């Protein structure tokens, strides 16, 4: 069986997906990165290897996410793309006429507008936590709830309370005030969901032409309270795809398939790479006022790559030496 591997390395999760020739998902892993992207990626690939038939052949690999360059060097990627491209490709593959893609992860959120399958506009939020999944995690912990319990309670509300959502700090103090007034936990939870949606639409979605069909993806799409809040705010049906939490990895896998089309080879280093020792180090270059932070990747003790320098002084040194 020929498959294509997609890897999405983010600050919160590392997602690994295998798709077949017709883009059906054969395996999908959603793993917590926990600040250890290399170790998480190795463990994920090892787990994936135990799940697939021995005759499975990886024909291409794509990486995306904030750790896409690091992942590409480790696994031997055929294509490296940013999150906007990967999420748009996956969304358009799932819903060919999709117009708006709402994506909310643990540490950032984004909106993508497509016209005829092509990205025409987008925006990202990587600054304010009030528009991301970490906002819900923080408030759930404050209420003594797991995120799963939090999600279920949002559906039991009868009268959601309005909570300030422009900042996570203000939201928490407002939530405490509402508790002191005697509002039910379910009404407060629903209010928090609405607060996150307002923050998202007023920041990431501001000025965007949000029209149906609308896809909601990312880890936060698992929360039905957020989906309902979006539908109420936009007055449109919101579609949550089956593989909502690994769409970036699916997009990377599809892009990998396109990248190797017509070729009989891939850069994939094989699953034996899980046995290698990967180490990263960093230093500040003092060669100019930029003072670039240069990252070095060592594989089994040997320096294999550098990146982070704006002028490619150190990157070129590796390439020329090779």
> What's the fold here for domain 96-240?
Nucleotidyltransferase; domain 5 (3.30.420)
Helix (H) or strand (E) holding 226: helix 224-234
Residue 129 has pLDDT above 80, yes or no: no
How far is Cα 127 from Cα 249, in angstroms, rounded to an integer? 23
User: pLDDT at position 284, please?
Assistant: 92
DSSP state, residue 296: E
Name the band, by pLDDT with cuts 50, 70 and 90, for residue 127. Answer: low
Residue 33 in tokens: 């990165």
User: pLDDT at position 170, please?
Assistant: 72
User: pLDDT at position 252, please?
Assistant: 97
Instruction: Give the right CATH number for 2-89+248-275 from 3.30.420.40, 3.40.50.20, 1.10.579.10, 1.10.3720.10.
Output: 3.30.420.40
Residue 2 has pLDDT above 70, yes or no: yes
Mean pLDDT (the chain) is 87
Residue 322 has pLDDT above 60, yes or no: no
Residue 107 has pLDDT above 90, yes or no: no
Name the band, by pLDDT with cuts 50, 70 and 90, for residue 1. Answer: confident
For the residues 60-76, what does the mean pLDDT come to?
A: 91
How far is Cα 207 from Cα 172, in angstroms, rounded to an integer? 27
pTM of the model: 0.85
How far is Cα 36 from Cα 43, in angstroms, rounded to an integer? 11
Spell out the alpha helix ranges (H) of 235-273. Answer: 247-259
Helix (H) or strand (E) holding 109: strand 109-115
User: pLDDT at position 106, please?
Assistant: 73
């Amino acid at each position: 069986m020929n498959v294509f591997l997609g890897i999405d390395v983010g600050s919160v999760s590392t997602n690994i997906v295998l798709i077949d020739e017709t883009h059906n998902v054969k395996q999908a892993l959603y793993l917590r990165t926990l600040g250890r992207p290399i170790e998480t990626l190795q463990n994920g690939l090892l787990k994936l290897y135990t799940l697939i038939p021995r005759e499975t052949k990886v024909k291409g690999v794509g990486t995306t996410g904030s750790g896409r360059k690091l992942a590409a060097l480790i696994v031997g990627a055929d294509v490296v793309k940013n999150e906007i491209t990967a999420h748009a490709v996956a969304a358009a593959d799932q819903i060919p006429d999709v117009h708006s893609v709402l994506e909310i992860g643990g540490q950032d959120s984004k909106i993508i507008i497509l016209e005829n399958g092509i990205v025409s506009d987008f925006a990202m939020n990587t600054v304010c936590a009030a528009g991301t999944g970490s906002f819900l995690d923080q408030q759930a912990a404050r209420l003594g709830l797991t995120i799963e319990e939090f999600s279920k309670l949002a559906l039991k509300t009868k009268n959601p309370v309005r909570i300030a959502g422009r900042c996570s700090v203000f939201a928490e103090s407002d939530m405490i005030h509402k508790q002191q007034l005697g509002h039910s936990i379910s009404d407060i939870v629903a209010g928090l969901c609405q607060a996150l949606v307002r923050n998202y639409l007023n920041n990431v979605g501001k000025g965007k032409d949000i029209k149906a069909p609308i896809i909601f993806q990312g880890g936060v799409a698992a929360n039905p309270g957020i989906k309902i809040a979006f539908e109420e705010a936009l007055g449109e049906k919101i579609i949550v795809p089956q593989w909502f939490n690994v769409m970036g990895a699916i997009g990377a896998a599809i892009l990998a398939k396109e990248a190797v089309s017509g070729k009989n080879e891939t850069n994939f280093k094989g699953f034996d790479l899980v046995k290698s020792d990967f180490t990263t180090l960093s230093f500040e270059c003092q060669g100019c006022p930029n003072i670039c932070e240069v990252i070095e990747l060592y594989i089994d003790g040997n320096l294999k790559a550098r990146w982070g320098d704006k002028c490619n002084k150190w990157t070129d040194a590796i390439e020329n030496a090779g």
